[in-house]
Amino acid sequence: MRNVGGEYVTEAVAGCVETLRPAVARDWTRVRAAGLEWSVHETAFHIADDLVSYAANLAGLAQDDYVPFEIRLDDGTDNSGLLHVIEATGALLSAAVRTAPREARAFHPHPFRSANREGFAAMGIAEVLLHTHDVAGALGLAYEPPRHLPEFVLTRIFPHVQPGPTPWDTLLWATGRGELPGRARLAEWRWNNNLVHTTERLTLQGITPAAARDLVMGGDGGFLWLQGGPFEGTREAASFLLKAYEGGVHRPEFGVFALVRKEDGRAIGGMGFHGVPDEDGCVEIGYDLVEGARGNGYATEALEALRAWAFAREDVTSLFATVDRDNHPSQAVVTRAGFRRVGEGEDGLLAYELPR
């Protein structure tokens, strides 16, 4: 899956500037942006401020907070100058996304305190699209971005939102700006960057709906795989994730994770949950590894990390797994992680359970 985030940031910014330029002669300080407490001028400046903040955090690999600086406009800067600032800060974020290493992650507070290059691109694009909508609405200007831009945002940082009739209508609804048939209007909202768990040798990187779709279509999901990967089980799990997303029941914290080695950045398998916990607090877990990565304890290491995370939650009381009767290495993995065998089905699968 090609890294298109930087290109899309540039395209979003170009659409913003093209839309707003016809109104540069108006006084933007005296018009309030649609649905906001800010003026049009303040909202336009906020776009630039977010773009440069995201660029700085990603390029500087900030880990604990935003890079401590602010931008300001020179005295006397007119609206045309402000649009130029949006163009410049957009170019900085685009460059940061295009040049960031695949495994780069940097600080963002919501909701898991970090984002990768796709996450920063999606957040930047969201700020541009949504606030251009707010400003254009206040100024009486027509605006609707091309379909692929809100779709990029939704499939990266709104995995919990069921797709609607169009990506743009869905994004407006998901951010409290519009209505969709059969759905209550939102008063509060928040995006979700992918969750990452870290172990001594691995990062377990949450697979987004965009990555899942690419895996289902035979792609790499945006990961650099060890030879032989991804294994068929990972593609199958991605298909289940995609169906849950399209059905509006996907919860990213109970999704699928790509297992990526720290030493070389190569994905070696997939591990994740089959859905949210049931009414008794039981959640099923599954996994696979590329053949060349087996026998090194990676699966056990990853399973122990997900076990610890799950049991730190109040809504999980037990973990469940099924293993083929002839798959002795996999049986050893769940046993080392503390699971005990609780039954055998007619399909030849052994059932294992681990209570809290």
pLDDT tens, position by position, 112-165: 999 999 999 999 999 999 999 999 999 999 999 999 999 999 999 999 999 999
- Asked whether the predicted pLDDT for residue 346 surpasses 80, the reply is no
Whether 191 is covered by a domain: the verdict is: no
pLDDT tens, position by position, 51-110: 999 999 999 999 999 999 999 999 999 999 999 999 999 999 999 999 999 999 999 998
High-pLDDT (> 70) share of the chain, %: 100
Whether 38 is covered by a domain: the verdict is: yes
Same domain, 319 and 351: yes
Whether 302 is covered by a domain: the verdict is: yes
Same domain, 23 and 127: yes
pLDDT tens, position by position, 226-276: 999 899 999 999 999 999 999 999 999 999 999 999 999 999 999 999 999
120: domain CATH number is 1.20.120.450
CA–CA dist 159, 153 (Å, integer): 9
Same domain, 143 and 263: no
CA distances from 119 to 105, 111, 180, 219, 284 (A): 9, 12, 25, 19, 28
**For position 73, what pLDDT does the model report?**
98
- Asked whether the predicted pLDDT for residue 217 surpasses 80, the reply is yes
**For position 162, what pLDDT does the model report?**
97
Same domain, 56 and 166: yes
Whether 186 is covered by a domain: the verdict is: no
**For position 221, what pLDDT does the model report?**
97
- Asked whether the predicted pLDDT for residue 184 surpasses 90, the reply is yes
Largest CA distance in the chain: 78
228: domain CATH number is 3.40.630.30
Same domain, 170 and 204: no
Same domain, 30 and 136: yes
Whether 125 is covered by a domain: the verdict is: yes
Band (pLDDT 50/70/90 cuts) for residue 347 is confident
Same domain, 163 and 202: no
Mean pLDDT, range 328-347, rounded to an integer: 91
Last residue within a domain, chosen from 107, 139, 174? 174
Closest CA to 280 of 247, 316, 227, 229: 316
* Length of the chain, in residues: 356
Same domain, 270 and 133: no
Whether 41 is covered by a domain: the verdict is: yes
DSSP 203-250: EEEEPPHHHHHHHHTTS-TT-EEPTTPSPHHHHHHHHHHHHHHHHT--
- Asked whether the predicted pLDDT for residue 348 surpasses 90, the reply is no
Band (pLDDT 50/70/90 cuts) for residue 332 is very high
What residues make up the domain containing 340? Answer: 196-355
**For position 110, what pLDDT does the model report?**
84
The pair of three-digit structure tokens given for residue 253, joined into one six-digit string: 């914290």
Q: In one letter, which amino acid is 312?
A: A
Number of domains observed in the structure of the chain: 2
- Ramachandran angles phi, psi of 258, nearest 5°: -85, 135
Task: Evaluate whether 239 touches 181 at the Cβ level (below 8 Å).
Answer: no
Containing 328, the helix (H) or strand (E) segment is helix 328-336
Whether 185 is covered by a domain: the verdict is: no
Q: In one letter, which amino acid is 325?
A: R
Same domain, 154 and 286: no
CA–CA dist 351, 356 (Å, integer): 17
Whether 150 is covered by a domain: the verdict is: yes
Same domain, 166 and 290: no
CA distances from 42 to 33, 134, 223, 267, 347 (A): 9, 11, 39, 43, 63
Same domain, 166 and 245: no
Same domain, 170 and 202: no
